[in-house]
Chain A
């Protein structure tokens, strides 16, 4: 399975340097959500890495879908922590265990 990177060219360049081939550079949020939707249905993609800042701008429904998806697993990384998993834990268990 492949690792896919979605984000700006600056975000994906480093991953390309580490040998990752599956790079997507959408020009706007709509293109990005479209690319993510398509990738979520692909069986060949194991992990999708997205810039955490871009992830916050995605529609709620898509964010929920990404948060629930196991294969591929969507991971938001950035200089700030991605809180989607924390939020799902909070809504499922009723308490914030991320401490």
Chain B
């Protein structure tokens, strides 16, 4: 590599200071990467459990709605679905994990009571109510899983970026600076030797 630097003492001092600063930054970034990875691993094991639970709940919900449709008829299920008066909503607020802004998802109206279903206490069906309950549970789990998934994605992006920065510092930036420092040191030593030699020649004359 061609080094375009001035081999002076002040440059050497500056370079040594910059190497020290870069190494400090490198250590901090490495700690950040490890911290993020730890948070990621903890959340990932929760997410795996949540995902498994989600699949199980979905299967139960599908079974209950199939049963409701078979017993009460598809039209009755559709009518009950149209009559629902409360609708689930989610609120997304930002949260901070080691400097990474992740979403915190809070659901409202996720479950509906019998009187909010709009079919009345007598007009409703136990099978449809059961299916409705199963899907309400499923939605609760979906909201939780969505929050975890979004958080994991953000953490993943940040881990990847930090990993790249750490690698760039470790394998490119710091070695280049050290090479420049060595070059200046060698050049200064050579200049010193030349100077001594010149003085000796001058003395002999």
Contacts and interface: CB of A to CB of B under 8 A. Distances in A.
Given A75-B149, A88-B153, A15 B139 contact: yes
Category for how many chain B residues contact A: 35 or more
B154 A70 contact: yes
Contacts of B135: 14-15, 17-18
A3 B142 contact: yes
Interface in A74-96: 75, 77-82, 85, 88-89, 92-93
B48 interface: yes
Q: Majority SS of interface residues in chain A?
A: mixed
Interface string B12-48: 0000000000000000000000000000010010011
Q: Majority SS of interface residues in chain B?
A: helix
Given A14-B62, A17-B81, A73 B149 contact: yes
Contact of A19 (B103, B112, B153): B112
Given A15-B139, A17-B135, A73 B88 contact: no
Interface of B: 41, 44, 47-48, 51-52, 54-55, 58-59, 61-62, 65, 77-78, 80-82, 84, 86-92, 103, 105, 109, 112, 128, 131-132, 134-136, 138-139, 142-143, 145-147, 149-150, 152-154, 156-157, 159-160
A2 interface: yes
Contact of A46 (B54, B92, B136, B157): B92
A97 B92 contact: no
A77 B41 CA distance: 23
A71 B146 CA distance: 10
Interface residues of A, number: 34
